[in-house]
Structure 1
Amino acid sequence: MMDFPELNRGDRGEAVVQLQTWLNRVGAMLKDDGDFGAATERAVRYAQGIAQHASTGTVDGALWSWLGSQPEPFPLLATNGLAFIAREETGGLNYYSLHTRWPHYPALASGVTIGVGYDLRFTTKSEFNRLWSPHLPPSHIRELEKDIGRKGSKTRVRELKKAGIEVPFDKAWKVFVEHTLPEYHGKTLGIYPTLNKLPDLCRSTLVSLVFNRGSSLNGERRREMRAIRGILVEADNPSYHKKKIKMLLADVEDELISMQRLWSPETGVYKRRQKEANLWRRGLQAW
């Protein structure tokens, strides 16, 4: 049984990994690397604020107890895998507070995006209102409705920021875990039916992929996504032993890397494919 010691910035080890994992339950979006650095301290203060504890940056028994009582945000995905997706969509807590809390434009085919990867180009007015009206002022809702179904631009997001439209992170997190994540888990399951049989972090890898690229399998640009489906179908053979299944599933990492052909190396999506490949490998190794 793990002890729950007092922790401060500079500490390292398994207790810090446990802390980071539990902080991720409430939206910290941390890498579970066991290093209590600036990002983890920021997340501790963030959690202390939610828990209405004093903002000390020190993890004491009261914070351990509160974090331990928090539910898993989406039980079908490992909390640290879920945190990976949210971090890729927002840049993390600090980046969110500095940039992503305002409407932003991720470029390429995206529309104006708010919160944790909520793209206004790919929603409807009724759905947008259902999800966001409880969280944003009516004037902000009316202005953002203008971007539904439309491709985004840097000019438009500058206009929205100038108008004072922003999304508090606690509201963004709520919509993400209650709606957006279940929606994309369902889309991923639709094209990869054996998703829930995979190791925890591998499930998160594929949901991250679909969250970023959508669920279409049509066309030359989707050949690796189709190849992944074939690998998963082959690996689901009940006569195979675990070692053979792991060998087959290892090929998914290669397909994720192969997808980088579609983007320039300096782009975020190119780098995201590498991170997803790393997460997939980690999931297999832990299985």
Structure 2
Amino acid sequence: MDVGSHPAAPSAEDLFEMLGYREAETSDAGTVEATVLDIPWSDAISERARSFIVGWETGGRAFYERVIKARPVWPEFASGITIGCGYDLGYHRPDEFRADWQGRLPGAAIERLSRTIGFRTDEPGRPAKVAQARALVRSLADIVIPWEVAIGQFDEGKMPKLVSQLYRSLDHLDRLHPHGRGALLSLVFNRGSGGFVSSKDRFREMRAIARAMATGERSEMARIPDLLRAMSRVWGEGSSLARRRREEADLFEAGLSEERLTEAVVALRQHGEAEAPAAPLAEQHEDVAEASDDEETVEEPALTEAPGPTVADVRWNPNDDDHPDYRHLPRAGQGATFDLTAADLERLVRLNVFRVRPGPLVFALRGCRIAGADLREDVEVLTLVDQRPDHRDYRCVMGVLDRGAGRMHAYRASTVPEARALVTGVQKARQGIFEGNLLPTGCYTYTVGTHRAGTSGEIRGVLRLASTATGAAEVVALRSLQDVVYDRRDFWHRCAPADNIHPGRRREGFSSLGCLTLPGDYDRGSRSHSGLWADFRVALGMGRTFAASDDGRQFSVMLLTGADAALVAGLRGAPAEGLRRLRFGSTGAAVARLQAQMGLAPDRQRLVGPVTRAAFVALQQRRLGWADGILSPEMEADLGLDVFREGEE
């Protein structure tokens, strides 16, 4: 289920079954808490957990006033006369009853109700007891306990007592999320705390819960939801009791999921933010030991049936102003056809002051297509059309620029994750797991190596986002954790996402959690590549069959948008200082000034890497409430920086 959702309220039939079912297994827990209770009971559980318990124990105010009619009832089964919010007189002592209700009810009502203390319709002689219970309910029908009195006793009398009972019974409750403590409190309300130590078979799951809690280990506590669900064997899957156990398990899991997510966010914040560091942060240009994300498999990401966004909800943000790739650009409608030359690509390198490696330059244009074709090879001019991706089809262009000859090769491609990856990304985020990302525009170093090495999805001869054949480069990627549309308020994650360049491997669509892909495939047996992917490799100087000698070859990959390219093409022969940008991969004096003004340690390479980009994103978020990770002249003014200089293109 969706861990952020609330289950449907129990029906009247469920509630009467629940009120009629109590297990008063005696506990030998002492007066000293197994877990010290040093906080008010109301701080021990979440409001969601309290509402869950109140719902199952009372049905809420409407049920109490319209169905129970605020009067004593007999819920059948083995219960006694029940008053208020599930207060079963058959399971209390006279002194308890008076302590709990003195001052809340008139003395005459207390006197009359006290005569039913300890009476419940169990064996032996149940038929006679049932008749007596029905007669008692009719006799006591003039006693009315207002909702405010009932819920007051529940919160001030019953809740503290049961919380104390729970804390006396189980170790390490302080290590649980308030949702988890609430789930176990609900169990104690319904089954008592004695089951945690009972030798009876019907309580074996409760004994297992006690053992798990005694370890204090997160891995053991994570077994508790399954133990709660396993209790259904006692009553049958269709009973309201089984449903309550399942919902307790869901509540417990919601706590585990939130803990994992918040712990991950705290770790990311500590890792990625540059605000008020103890010492100036230094830029990081080396590969990390391993990727933070698993490299993609060829199989489709597994979708769960949890409520939430579906593949049908996935779309590219229709508002360019709200997307980090387009926010910084002058407003212009998409769909323009333009001619792109090698000189235009070289100008984009200069305007972004990208540091590019010698040899062929890989260019990737997000949201772009080749007019009338899937590929163009060895040409001086490319006719392209600006468009937007859709996470379903190849709606980008990737190509190779021979910088010496001024000629280009271009192919239909994708630079975005597939639609299913956005859905699973949201689902995994609820579990504290990060999967799926959008690699922001910039200039990245890629090295020929192996994708998914040693697995069934292994592909030799791909381009890895790394500076070594087996490494993983750290970047700042964009993740959408709450919905399935990327925008400038999404989560910027400093990580090593393994966004490699490889064949899409499907007849329709492509396989990608964030990788850049081209139509085509790879055969492990023959080590042969096919499709546009193979053509792309050939344009880079590699063959259609993998050769070990290719491993370690390096290329710069300039990732921009079709709109970036169209703007520069439209200014051919005219000044373009307004299109100067600093983003990932930019280098030079302007970068050094930006790093200094953000309080970073001097960087000999004067290069925007993961530390500089993360610091800049944090600066934008603090001052603007959003980020695109790109410094333009307009953004320079908005942030009060002094970075760009006249004559620097």
Structure 1 unaligned spans of 5+: 1-16, 18-30, 36-71, 238-244
My pick for the range that moved more, 82-91 or 108-117, is: 108-117
1: CA distance, partners of 2:67 / 2:240: 16
Structure 2 residue corresponding to 1:220, chosen from 178, 186, 201: 201
2: CA distance, partners of 1:154 / 1:167: 23
Q: Which residue of 2 aligns with 1:124?
A: 93
2: CA distance, partners of 1:262 / 1:107: 19
Deviation at 1:161, TM superposition (A): 4.8
Alignment of 1:104-183 (within 5 A): 104-152=73-121, 155=131, 156=133, 159-161=136-138, 163-183=141-161
Give 1:270's aligned amino acid.
A
Deviation at 1:117, TM superposition (A): 2.0
My pick for the range that moved more, 206-215 or 89-98, is: 89-98
Contact 1:112-1:157 within 8 A present in 2 as well: no
1: CA distance, partners of 2:80 / 2:160: 21
Normalised by the size of structure 2, how large is the TM-score?
Answer: 0.31
Contact 1:103-1:157 within 8 A present in 2 as well: no
User: Given the alignment of the two structures, is residue 276 of structure 1 paired with residue 245 of structure 2, yes or no?
Assistant: no
Q: Which residue of 1 aligns with 2:67?
A: 99
Contact 2:166-2:188 within 8 A present in 1 as well: yes
Deviation at 1:159, TM superposition (A): 3.5
Contact 1:78-1:201 within 8 A present in 2 as well: yes
RMSD: 2.5
Deviation at 1:178, TM superposition (A): 1.2
Alignment of 1:1-287 (within 5 A): 74-100=42-68, 101-152=70-121, 155=131, 156=133, 159-161=136-138, 163-216=141-194, 217-218=197-198, 219-234=200-215, 236-237=216-217, 245=218, 247-287=219-259
Q: Residues 265 and 143 from structure 1, CA distance in 2 versus in 1: closer, same or farther, beyond 3 angstroms?
A: farther
1: CA distance, partners of 2:130 / 2:150: 21
Deviation at 1:172, TM superposition (A): 1.0
Q: Deviations over 1:48-90 (max 9, x none)?
A: xxxxxxxxxxxxxxxxxxxxxxxx9822221221121111001
Deviation at 1:227, TM superposition (A): 0.4
Contact 1:77-1:204 within 8 A present in 2 as well: yes
Normalised by the size of structure 1, how large is the TM-score?
Answer: 0.67
2: CA distance, partners of 1:195 / 1:79: 17
Deviation at 1:197, TM superposition (A): 2.3
Contact 2:84-2:147 within 8 A present in 1 as well: yes
Q: Residues 197 and 154 from structure 1, CA distance in 2 versus in 1: closer, same or farther, beyond 3 angstroms?
A: farther
Deviation at 1:158, TM superposition (A): 5.9
SS of equivalent residue, structure 2 residue 43: coil
Give 2:211's aligned amino acid.
G
**Structure of larger gyration radius:** 2
Question: Would you tell me which structure has more helix in proportion to its own residues?
Answer: 1
2: CA distance, partners of 1:161 / 1:260: 34
Give 1:147's aligned amino acid.
T
Contact 1:253-1:280 within 8 A present in 2 as well: yes
1: CA distance, partners of 2:144 / 2:85: 12
Aligned-residue sequence identity (percent) comes to 32
Structure 2 unaligned spans of 5+: 9-39, 122-128, 260-649
Give 2:50's aligned amino acid.
L
| Count of residues in correspondence between the two structures | 212
Deviation at 1:102, TM superposition (A): 2.1
Question: Would you tell me which structure has more strand in proportion to its own residues?
Answer: 2
1: CA distance, partners of 2:90 / 2:221: 34
